[in-house]
Chains A and B, each alone.
Chain A
Amino acid sequence: MELRETFLSALRTLGSHKMRSALTMLGIIIGAGSLVAVMSLIAGLNQSVTAQFQSVGTDIISVSHFPWVQMGDSDEYRNRKRITIHDSDAIASLPSIGLVAPNIHTRRGISYGGESMRRVRVSGTTPEYETIDNYSVESGRFITQFDVERRRQVVVIGSDVSEKLFGFRDPLGKNMQIGGKGFVVIGILDEKGDIFGDSLDEHVIVPFTTFRKAFGSRRSVVVDCQPAAGVPMARAIDDIRALMRIRRQVPRDKPDDFAINTQEDLTASYKQLTGVLYFAMTGIVALALLVGGIGVMNVMLVSVAERTREIGVRKAIGARRRDVTSQFLIESVILTALGGALGIGGGAGLALLVRVATPLPAATTPGAVALAVAFSLITGIVFGVYPAIRAGRLNPIQALSYE
């Protein structure tokens, strides 16, 4: 029997049982839909995280008393000794280390004129921070050594702060309030973008020394640094680790009580996260397709039983086994293909919604669509084969006398 005829006849049959066909497709719709949706979200996540990584800089080493990605016992973290400015100086004196920028952070309310912003990230640091942490100044200047030495009440502001507090006015030279203290704006930073809905541009940077005087000197210091020219990353890290263990008197058999963060760690833990997501997705999709597939098989078995007489007639007028088998197989594949198409549409729609409504740039890739199509078709074949073979093997006389 020609494929075209089989196809048309299958569509006719499915069309005459619309409700049943739709319910059968549900599992496949959910399976294909969640596959496309989750893969689109991960693609979006990849995109925004890659952008974020680039903004961090590839050769940064960041020494802090908490790691960037925390795992396990948080009590242990809380009891750790602070890292001090003396640790930062010691790291700076290592021959394998180039630039060093100690930095400390808090959140404070800020205001100018009638405008104010709450809980803005305030950082205190030194001039090297601009290079190491990939900042660039749009207008004015960054903090200088002179500002640090003199503890000047000056501030470099993020682009969001400039926009929200000053609007169309030029912020440079204006006197603004940070945590109730007056600061003169000396520079405006280039836009850095968002990470998970959190703006990187709601940020103000003041000299390290000024920060300690204004907001307290007891905070643990983060030491951002780069290896000296020509020194491999791994050696610089080893040197820092050895130095810090001695300075903090960590016993030989104990793990580090501080963290050395690199972009590589971030990438590794991000990969771990997406790995978990993929794993969970595989589970959901497999389950949905299994449920959908069993539904398809059930409906096809019912369909074969209902149409036993029809099968008998078809055989009597010349249908061979494979004509009947392929007819039923194509019906089940059409069922799952249709379900898959609806699911892909739904998943892609969901991804689009996320893209429009949230900062996550979710994107449906051709790969995700291809995978969903393949899964739908395979489900149709795998779960349709048994009923189809049963239909093909029916004895024509018994089928014809079936009531």
Chain B
Amino acid sequence: MLIQLEGVTKIYEVGTEKVNALGGVSLSIEKNEYIAIMGPSGSGKSTLMNVIGCLDTPTSGSYCLKGQEVGDLDDDELAEIRSAEIGFVFQTFNLLPRMTAFQNVELPLIYSKAHRRTRAERVWSVMDAVGLRDRAKHRPNELSGGQRQRVAIARALINAPSIILADEPTGNLDSGTGEEIMQVFEGLHKAGNTIILVTHEEYIAEHANRIIRLHDGLIASDERSAGASSPTRPVGSTERA
């Protein structure tokens, strides 16, 4: 079991008011699953992603990642887990504007203390995986939205994470470009990656093998589609990109 959530709640306190962003979510996710999370605005999708991505810790309940309880970890330990196990893809790309595509992709390697000599090689291999080798020297403002998102995906991939988390990755793209990005995710899933993405669009969600619907911070439904690629492949049988 890669991810195990048990009765996870997240309560935000705004002034005297309490917001139940997550009201007790239990969920388990295997390696190489491809999951879409859906639900109305404010239903807690991003909050759930933040918890799974170790950007935030649950108010109560337990979250085990690869068997380790995350709730007890401090800031720096969470940072190291994010560095080693998580790859984030954001709706707004979140590339650093003053750096080239290459430097943006390389940055997580610097934080994970990868040796300088091996870094370039790894950057080129993920740039190839997203088809952007010829745009490496470009800065984000010299790239199209789709290209920016591919750089962001390359950055998410660079440390060979256990999970790729994408919160509305196509939200800022037109449907054609969005479809291209979904092809990239498709490829990553085929290569053995575990992917969780949040979307509002049914046609995007259909790419996934499993759709979890949230409502008011609770899981309303959790369905597996009978797709070609089975979501329950045996652990260890796959190779990551």
Contact = CB atoms under 8 A, between A and B. Distances in A.
A137 interface: no
Given A16-B98, A397-B56, A320 B75 contact: yes
Contact of A313 (B75, B79, B96, B159): B96
Contacts of A321: 75-76, 79
A400 B92 CA distance: 10
Interface centre among A13, A315, A322 (most CB of B within 10 A): A315
B98 A316 contact: no
B53 interface: yes
Contacts of B75: 320-321
Interface residues of B, number: 27
B53 to A, nearest CB: 7
Contacts, number: 63
A337 B81 CA distance: 35
Interface in A306-328: 309-310, 312-323
Interface string B48-84: 0010010110000000000000000001100110111
Interface string A134-162: 00000000000000000000000000000
B120 interface: no
Given A5-B110, A317-B111, A320-B75, A13 B98 contact: yes
A317 B94 CA distance: 11
A83 B90 CA distance: 95
Interface residues on A, range: 20 to 34
A316 B55 contact: yes
Nearest to A307: B96
Given A12-B98, A321-B75, A314 B55 contact: no
A400 B165 CA distance: 15
Interface in A33-88: none
A287 interface: no
Given A317-B108, A318-B108, A397 B76 contact: no
B150 interface: no
B116 A317 contact: no
Contacts of A312: 94
A316 B79 CA distance: 8
Contacts of B108: 317-318
Contacts of A349: none
B115 to A, nearest CB: 10
A315 to B, nearest CB: 7
A41 B94 CA distance: 54
Nearest to B96: A310
B162 to A, nearest CB: 13
Contacts of A253: none
Contacts of B96: 310, 313-314
A318 B55 contact: no
B111 A318 contact: yes
A317 B155 contact: yes
B225 interface: no
A320 B107 contact: no
A44 B236 CA distance: 77
A391 to B, nearest CB: 13
B110 A320 contact: no
Nearest to A15: B98
A320 B84 CA distance: 12
Contacts of A315: 55, 79, 82
A182 interface: no
B50 A397 contact: yes
B82 A318 contact: yes
A155 B88 CA distance: 97
A115 interface: no
Contacts of B82: 315-318
Interface in A4-37: 5, 12-13, 16
A2 interface: yes
A317 B55 contact: no
A323 B98 contact: no
Contact of A314 (B84, B107, B159): B107
A317 B95 CA distance: 11
Interface centre among B56, B76, B111, B113 (most CB of A within 10 A): B111
A359 interface: no
B112 interface: yes
Given A396-B55, A397-B50, A318 B94 contact: no
A399 to B, nearest CB: 10
Contacts of A310: 96
6 contacts: A309-B94, A316-B94, A317-B108, A317-B155, A396-B55, A397-B55
Query: What 5 pairs across the A-B complex have the smallest Cβ distances?
Result: A318-B83, A318-B111, A320-B79, A317-B108, A313-B94
